[in-house]
Homo-oligomer: A and B are copies of this chain.
Amino acid sequence: MLILEALEEHGTLRFTQIGRIVSGISQKMLTQTVRRMEEDGLVKRTVHPVIPPHVDYELTPIGHSLSEAFCGVWVWAEKHRDEIERARRAFAEANGSKRRPA
Contact = CB atoms under 8 A, between A and B. Distances in A.
Interface string A77-98: 0001001101110111000000
Given A87-B39, A91-B39, A69 B65 contact: no
A69 B76 contact: yes
Interface of A: 38-41, 62, 65-66, 68-73, 75-76, 80, 83-84, 86-88, 90-92
Contacts of A69: 72-73, 75-76
A71 to B, nearest CB: 7
A41 B12 CA distance: 38
Contacts of A84: 40-41, 62
